[in-house]
Amino acid sequence: MSASGVRGYLDELVDWATAHLTGEEVLTASLWGEDSDFVRFNHGEVRQAGSVRQRELLVDLIEGDRHAQGSIQLAQDPELDRARLGRMLEDLRETRRLLPADPYLSYATDDGRSGERVHAGAPPEPDWAVSRIQAAGTGRDLVGIYAAGDTFAGFANSLGQRNWFQSTTFNFDWSFYLQADKAVKNSYAGRGWDDEAFGAKVEWSSRQLDVLARPPVDLEPDLYRTYLAPAALQELVDMMSWGGFSLKAHRTKQTPLLKMVTEGATLADGVRLSEHTAGGVAPNFQEQGFARPDEVVLVEGGMYRDCLVSPRSAREYGVPTNGASAWESPDSLSLAPGDLAADTVLDELGTGLYVGNLWYLNFSDRAACRTTGMTRFATFWVEGGEIVAPANVLRFDDTAYHLLGSNLVGLTSETEMLLDPSTYQGRSTASVRLPGALIADMRFTL
């Protein structure tokens, strides 16, 4: 059954379940699914290929202020799925009877929230994509994974609300491996394959690989003028997103952006961060049926503006929800571009560090939004606008208020869409759109 067919199938199942409710029961059902092709590469050759088709149905059975949840994997056999759903409803009733009242229970009750959004894409056929990837890896040790296909989500309840979201994307996450711990990492993702764009990424990675073969330089702990490529900047904004934009974290004073809330600390004037659902690949509604606006501006002009508010937090704190997930972190974070031309960043950097990736990040001082982590893969020493040598691994320790605030020279005018390559339980629908960032002084401590 295709993704479009699953939509109608969900409606039929919920209609059937609604007819089997008792008393004042309300049922909500959210569905997540994918039809994905996966290809894994090593030494430029296909090592594993396959397809995944899955549809998971999460049901919440509500009566008054008590509720219980359960889930099943749909077999797409009406007789079998109805029998399993019926048994689950009986089990949920028994479980609900033993549970305490939930003071923050919240679910959509307006069938006017119904709607659909379909982002049609045209990823290449797997055989064609494999041929292009293998051509790019000719003469190199290419390691990576290619994933493509539909991800989709649905919501339906016994009150008549129906929502559907579907997005077709591809994501190729790869490295050119040199030796030992030396590799160049890159990714290419989107809704439609552009051979010229992919070729440009391959060419840039090839240039980096050539430099990586040179003798590395050891740099002393110090402040260095630094350019963070979008993939490196992603690691930093991911840490900021760990409670940084959550209403719950703000109200409980656990946000890493506490100084922005309580002391008026700011980022640079040009920093504008938003949850840009319309530009991402995540659903525009969440599992209780609340819609997400096309955009929620989180930081504007360097100042904190708004939080992500889940339905439970909305009820707890008496404010409107904006359809955030239960964990209140961005699914489609976007950082607005600046005015630095991407093809001149090495000239603008002059002498300093070009950092392509960061990893092993953690907070060294959460309340101050101070983060520590390591450079990863290809990090280069640049002199006079030219990459001269790879730099051995460095540890940084710095705050967002410096990196995206007082020490920010500028952001590139071009942004890159980065899809989360995670496939735990299923393909992730999280994404970020980020520019690169030029920083006057970044603190490296080891």
The reply to whether 236 and 143 lie within a common domain is no
On whether both 166 and 189 belong to a single domain, the answer is yes
44 and 21 together in one domain: yes
Q: Are residues 66 and 87 in the same domain?
A: yes
User: Cα–Cα distances in Å, from 133 out to 47, 175, 193, 201?
Assistant: 13, 12, 12, 12
What pLDDT does residue 111 have? 64
Tell me, yes or no, whether 250 and 177 share the same domain.
no
Looking at the fold, whether 60 and 9 belong to one and the same domain comes out as yes
Take residue 167 and report the two structure tokens written for it: 């997005």
Whether this model's pTM surpasses 0.85: yes
**pLDDT (tens digit, 9 = 90+) per residue, 75-84?**
999 999 999 9
- Together in a domain, 231 and 295: yes
Confidence band, pLDDT 50/70/90 cuts, at residue 2: confident
- Report pLDDT for 124: 87
What CA–CA distance (Å, rounded) separates 133 from 41?
A: 9
pLDDT tens column, 61-118: 999 999 999 999 999 999 999 999 999 999 999 999 999 999 999 999 876 678 999 9
Burial 54-84 (b: 16+ CB within 10 A, else e): ebebebbbbbeebbbebeeebeeeeeebeeb
Do 229 and 150 share a structural domain? no
Structure tokens at 2: 């295709």
- Per-residue buried b or exposed e for 265-280, using 16+ beta carbons within 10 Å of the residue's own CB: bbbbebbbbbbbbeeb
Task: List Cβ neighbours of 15 (8 Å cut-off, separation of 6 or more).
Answer: none
Residue with tokens 């600046």: 338
pLDDT reported for residue 268: 98
Q: Do residue 128 and residue 276 come from a single domain?
A: no
Boundaries of domain holding 263: 217-444
What domain count does the chain have? 2
Average pLDDT for 210-234: 96
The answer on 176 and 292 residing in a single domain is: no
- Domain C-terminal end among 168, 187, 210: 210
pLDDT of residue 112: 65
On whether both 331 and 183 belong to a single domain, the answer is: no
Domain end call among 168, 188, 210: 210
Q: Which two tokens stand for residue 47?
A: 């090592």
- Choose the final residue of a domain: 188, 210, 232: 210
Q: Which CATH number fits the domain that encloses residue 39?
A: 3.30.2290.10
Same domain, 195 and 54: yes
Q: How many residues make up the chain in this entry?
A: 446
Rounded-to-integer distance, Cα 323 and Cα 325, Å: 7
3-state secondary structure of 188: strand
